[in-house]
Amino acid sequence: MAKQSRKQKPTTKPVRDAAGTRARILEAAKLRFCERSYEQVGVREIAADANVDAALVNRYFGTKEELFAQISKGVFNADDFIEGPPNRIGEYLTQRVMSGPQRVKEGANPFEFLLRSAASPTASPIIAARLHKDFVLKLAALIGGQHAATRAALIASYIIGFLTVRIALQSPAVLAAHADKVVALLGSAIQAAVDDQG
């Protein structure tokens, strides 16, 4: 009788979940960059949070700067902030900022992300380019008319300035107790920029 051969062990290596690993790294990096400035965040910390080796972070994303640039995509997407018709943008945006900065899809908090690294010589140009492309230009296309990009940039400045005073500086003059007045005044200023066609 012929000898039965032993079952051979599979020769293929286990499949690595590259997409899952990449997603974990991105999520860990987003949380870190929302908590601390660009210079204060290290690749080793991100790797530890994602439960991977630091070399793997570099293999997937190259440098820390390239990883930061990847994270910044979509953080300031106007589509995530604006709903409803143009004639209600002022009211809607003001109510959104009065409720505080919210995490958008994929976990990044736009205001915290901007605030932590806006002063960084490396991160600031990346943030500025993303804010312009993903928020200002998209809002400009929505509101239309003359000088649309300038008006959209002013709207962005109203929002960022207000959040800085309310969240970062914690001014008592714009806390929830004054919500009705804030919505009326800030909403009117934003809406004036939306409606201006001159």
| Tally of domains within the chain | 2
pLDDT bracket for residue 60 (50, 70, 90)? very high
Would residue 191 count as lying in a domain?
A: yes
Would residue 151 count as lying in a domain?
A: yes
42 & 132 share domain:
no
87 & 123 share domain:
yes
pLDDT tens-digit series, residues 99-144: 765 544 456 788 889 989 989 999 999 999 999 999 999 999 999 9
Range of the domain at 61: 18-71
With a cut of 80, say whether residue 7 has pLDDT above it: no
Alpha-carbon gap, residue 29 to 147, rounded angstroms:
36
112 & 174 share domain:
yes
Alpha-carbon gap, residue 179 to 183, rounded angstroms:
6
Q: Reduce the DSSP state of residue 106 to 3 states and report it.
A: helix
Alpha-carbon gap, residue 198 to 151, rounded angstroms:
11
56 & 96 share domain:
no
pTM over 0.85: no
pLDDT: which is higher, 103 or 83: 83
27 & 106 share domain:
no
Would residue 2 count as lying in a domain?
A: no
How many angstroms from the chain centroid is the CA of residue 59? 23
Q: What share of the chain is helix, strand, coil (3-state, %, to 5)?
A: 70, 0, 30
Would residue 167 count as lying in a domain?
A: yes
pLDDT tens-digit series, residues 14-24: 346 788 899 99
Alpha-carbon gap, residue 144 to 61, rounded angstroms:
37
Would residue 185 count as lying in a domain?
A: yes
Would residue 156 count as lying in a domain?
A: yes
Query: What is the model's pLDDT at position 8?
Result: 53
Would residue 10 count as lying in a domain?
A: no
Say which residues have a Cβ less than 8 Å from residue 13's Cβ, sequence separation at least 6.
Answer: none
